[in-house]
Structure 1
Amino acid sequence: MNEQTSSGQTSRAPAIDLARGIALIGMAVFHFTFDLEFFHRIEPGTITSLPWIVFARTVAGSFVFLAGVSLVLAAQGGMRWPSFWRSTAVVAVAALGVSVATWFAIRPAFVFFGILHMIVVGRLLGLAFLRVPPVLTALIGVAVWALPYLVQSPVFDTRWLAWIGFAEVQPFSMDLEPVFPWFGPFLLGMAAAGLAQGWLRGGVLVNPILRGLAWAGRHSLAIYLIHQPVLLGTLWLFFG
């Protein structure tokens, strides 16, 4: 979920736009299933079953991974700092909006550090890795991904610290992607972009379906913010 526009080239990488568009479909499928369970139209506990948990984390991980790719593409040829800070601020404001909206809507499970929060932090922390060799970045990414499964402490169980990622019991939230392990996929995305170098910028999408997916990928933040209210509203009209 990364509206990276720090360079004219970055937002025109068809492969990345297409990948985001496909990830958006996965996100919509998961949230639609969640909403069906909310309206008691499918078996309770469906979305907390192992297959759906794996699916949800794969979709979330793909967005974070692609945000890492976009950061490297934006820095190629020199970072446009005003655009970088502006686009980062847009995502940060959107993250704050999600927190405020869910605080009023579902306070016990409000989103205090979701995927948008993680992308903002990833973009900032990722700046330190722009000159790190991609292979080393990938190794650090794997370590970041693995560390919270090896190191846990009840000290991190509160919402004030759970966003770091070492909680023994995570606070309940509708969307929680702590820095550890989720900065790992971000770094892996940076490493992949570094290894791919200029390959990601080539290609033209001819198929109209693929072009539509790429268009959605270029507007992933807006779609992320509006899709769930639209799904919930539509289902409410049908089921009450």
Structure 2
Amino acid sequence: MAAFHFCFDLNHFGWLRENFYRDPFWTLQRTAIVSLFLFCAGGGQALAVLGGQGARRFWRRWAQVAGCALAVSAGSALMFPNSWISFGVLHGIAVMLVLLRLGLSRAAAPWLLALAAAALLAPQLLSHAWFDTRWTNWVGLVTHKPITEDYVPVLPWLGVMLLGFAVSRRWPSLWAGTLARPLRPLAVLGRWSLSFYMLHQPVLIGLLMGAQALGLRPH
């Protein structure tokens, strides 16, 4: 993710010339990254439910995610006023966590898998212009993709989170074990994933702005 965002930033500042919006080399990477995010978020919720996480702890964590989503919207509006992020990955996670925790987490595995399949297929089968506004496109049943730097609507992406939840609830041991010593820093990033997500982009952008301030310019 950080490498992808660094390349995006290089492109934004003119150090690269790539089409991040249409080139499959980049769009497929984005799809894989978002899928991994949401699968892990679903897995994390499964472990939380199995571990007896209480409502207070859930809502405290949810408030952190929702607050960071609002911060992303504000920051993107300053940097990309014509394509700011109104419903990106953090917005999507915040809404999907509520749907999952307040009802879907109690569903039996066959129902979860059926709902996941329905969510994944729905945007391919249903769409309406009513969902094309910034206030309604979070559902996902749009007739065309909105102009925005990040867009992770509930449909189809809820399906990925449900798959992560169903698989992890059935086989929680998938998340057990220890990493080899060279990979242990990744576990630290996993425990502080939201902080890393929020901080890495300002740091990367700051470094590139600093490089330009020092006179380093793309050719």
TM-score (norm 2): 0.91
Match of 1:152 among 115, 122, 127: 127
Q: CA deviation at 1:200?
A: 3.4
Alpha-carbon spacing, 1:162–1:201, altered in 2? closer, same or farther (3 Å): closer
Q: Give the Cα separation in 2 of the matches to 1:187 and 1:64.
A: 9
1:1-240 correspondence to structure 2 within 5 Å: 27-46=1-20, 48-127=22-101, 128-197=103-172, 199-207=173-181, 209-240=182-213
Q: Give the Cα separation in 2 of the matches to 1:114 and 1:32.
A: 18
**Contact 1:33–1:47 (CA<8 Å) still a contact in 2?**
no
Alpha-carbon spacing, 1:178–1:115, altered in 2? closer, same or farther (3 Å): same
| Structure 2 residue identity aligned to 1:181 | P
Q: Give the Cα separation in 1 of the matches to 2:53 and 2:150.
A: 31
- Specify the alignment match of 1:7 in structure 2: none
Alpha-carbon spacing, 1:173–1:133, altered in 2? closer, same or farther (3 Å): same
Q: What are the superposed Cα offsets for residues 30-59 of structure 1, whole Å, 9 maximum, x if unpaired?
A: 111111111222224255301210110110
Alpha-carbon spacing, 1:203–1:123, altered in 2? closer, same or farther (3 Å): same
Q: Give the Cα separation in 2 of the matches to 1:110 and 1:221.
A: 20
**Contact 1:34–1:47 (CA<8 Å) still a contact in 2?**
no
| Structure 2 residue identity aligned to 1:126 | L
Q: Which has the higher contact order (CA 8 A, sep 6+)?
A: 1
Q: CA deviation at 1:87?
A: 0.6
Q: Give the Cα separation in 2 of the matches to 1:58 and 1:135.
A: 25
Q: CA deviation at 1:112?
A: 0.6
Moved more, 53-62 or 38-47: 38-47
Pairwise CA RMSD of aligned residues?
1.6
| Structure 2 residue identity aligned to 1:220 | S
Structure 2: 5+ residue stretches without partners: 214-219
Q: CA deviation at 1:136?
A: 2.5
Moved more, 229-238 or 38-47: 38-47
Number of residue pairs matched by the alignment = 212
Structure 1: 5+ residue stretches without partners: 1-26
Q: Give the Cα separation in 2 of the matches to 1:77 and 1:238.
A: 47
Q: Give the Cα separation in 2 of the matches to 1:47 and 1:107.
A: 17
Q: Give the Cα separation in 1 of the matches to 2:148 and 2:195.
A: 22
Q: Which runs of 4+ in 1 moved over 3 A?
A: none
**Contact 2:140–2:155 (CA<8 Å) still a contact in 1?**
yes
**Contact 1:141–1:183 (CA<8 Å) still a contact in 2?**
yes
Alpha-carbon spacing, 1:201–1:28, altered in 2? closer, same or farther (3 Å): closer
Q: CA deviation at 1:61?
A: 1.2
